[in-house]
Amino acid sequence: MLRWSTVLARIGVGLAVALLVLLIALPLLGLVLRIAPGDLIHQLRQPIVLDALRLSLITSVTATMLVIGLGLPVAGLIATKEFPGKRALEVLIELPMVLPPTVAGLGLLLAFGRTGLAGRSLDALGISLPFSTAAVVLAQAFVAAPFFITASVAGFREVERRYLDTAATLGAPPLTQLIRVILPLSLPSLLAGAAMGWARALGEFGATITFAGNLQGVTQTMPLAVYLALEADLRAAVALAVLLLLVSVVLLLAVRTVAPRHRLSSAAHAVRHTP
Amino acid sequence: MNRRALLASLSLFGGVLGCGRTANTPPPVVTVFAAASLSGAFAELGQLLEQRQTGLTVRFNFAGSQQLALQIHQGAAADVFASADERWIRAVSDSGLVAGAAEIFAHNSLVVIVPTANPGRIERLEDLTRRGLKLVLATETVPVGKYSREVLGKLSGAPGFGTTYAELALRNVVSFEENVKAVAAKVQLGEADAGIVYRSDVTSATAPQVRIIPIPDQYNVVADYPIAVLARARNEAGARAFHDLVLSAEGQAVLERHGLTPAGVGSVPTSDAP
């Protein structure tokens, strides 16, 4: 016979799942049901939509690359070494996750703006970041970096010491260990982190509009286009929103299907081929 | 999971579900939705009303008029709506959401502002077309954005201005901001070389950081600000009190101090005057 506590626990969990699914799925359903497929196709042909979509894809991919390039060494350092100021570095890296994006945008403006801390020197070199596509990328990288780095640190920490010891015993130099053992074993975490960062960059709004402004084809990404269309034409806004939703779903699904396969194959590969 | 923790989490759900209920007595709160350009003047008027009617709280939602209209359409709990143009109050009133008629309570006009340091070396309106300038305007859906384009259009072909003036100036726009305060902020921070805002946006707080380049009356646009009590107002008496204060001689004086042009006491209703 089932115990009362078990029954209650099941009801509780069921209720929680149902409420959470409603909370997330209902708004999405609301968007999708609001639009006819014909409308979506019609909107796709609008130059403003095409510009925003193209800009969003280019900037978010660039920002993700930037975050991976700079984030990997930082994550490796945090995961493997102890050094003074490590705590401070970790807090600093996580900070953009909790900052309201508008604050991030204002900060970026005060740092890289024409009269900003670093902006003054940049301006002297003839580089002006605000209102440029580069500013969009910076804003996106700023908010996306913590997602990638925290996931990567966790991934690196999961790599078991004994694999590295085995590799070292067999004479593999550190670089070989990194390429043949550490990266393959932590690849699922790295991919998941990159996907999270990419998704965050794609959805970035507040920092972008504050730091980069809003100009079609230059700084108007999909989220900005959705927000501004909302005030002029609700149908266009819904179409844009659904489009952004579709792109995000495709991306997340792609990562889901790639990541587990890599985990298995790369782990097996690493074990088999470690010299 | 033990039983107590479970019950606690279940009662939490109950709390979440139950909080949608509203009290039967009207709350002593007036919620005013007002155009971003009114923030200074209305904040002062709100305080004034709170001092008069103890226990009453006046809450504000300042944003672009178009965004406020959208929120009201979507059922936001607002008692009063003050828009920066008639278009958006008409949008609300056409849906039957306005109680009575909207009334014009103030006028505003536009100015060009440049940072005090004036990095673009802009001395006259003619300079706005100089290549490479960074001009910031409000987006077209915001009243001030529409007015800014009208002003540029009126200046095109005026004596001393070329016929392509508007086109050349618009080519210098680096950003179409979503409300007028964002335009003022970009100029204040020195990021934009120039911006077009309402005269009332040059407040005592912004004045030290910007310089004004006036737009002559014949090329300027006079913005009419209408105010209305909303049909779904939850605190109609409070809403009426705020509405009346704005239109009173005292309210008009406050508006004038904040750079708006008073519409005159006992202002002209937008519907047919008797």
Q: A108 to chain B nearest CA, in Å?
A: 12
Q: Which residues between 83 and 122 in chain A have a beta carbon less than 8 angstroms from any beta carbon of chain B?
A: 109-110, 113-115
Selected residue with higher pLDDT from B268 and B157: B157
pTM of the model: 0.78
Cα distance between residue B144 and residue B261, in whole Å: 16
Q: B120 to chain A nearest CA, in Å?
A: 12
Tens digits of residue pLDDT in B11-40: 444 444 444 444 455 558 999 999 988 988
Q: Check CB contact of B173 with chain A, cutoff 8 Å.
A: yes
pLDDT of residue B12: 46
End-to-end CA distance of chain B: 73
Tell me which DSSP letter residue A61 carries: H
Q: Check CB contact of A231 with chain B, cutoff 8 Å.
A: yes
Nearest CB to B1; choose among A4, A9, A215: A9
- Checking if the pLDDT of A257 tops 80, the result is no
Check A19 against B178: CB less than 8 A apart: no
Among the residue ranges B15-29, B51-65, B122-136, B159-173, the one predicted with the least confidence is B15-29
Q: Annotate B184-220 with b (16+ C-beta within 10 A) or e (fewer).
A: bbbbbbbbbbbbbbbbbbbeeebeebbbebebeeebb
Q: Check CB contact of A19 with chain B, cutoff 8 Å.
A: yes
Cα distance between residue B56 and residue B46, in whole Å: 10
Of all residues in chain A, the one with the smallest CA distance to B182 is A210
pLDDT of residue A163: 82
pLDDT of residue A126: 85
pLDDT of residue A99: 92
Q: Which band of pLDDT confidence, cut at 50, 70 and 90, is reported for residue A52?
A: very high
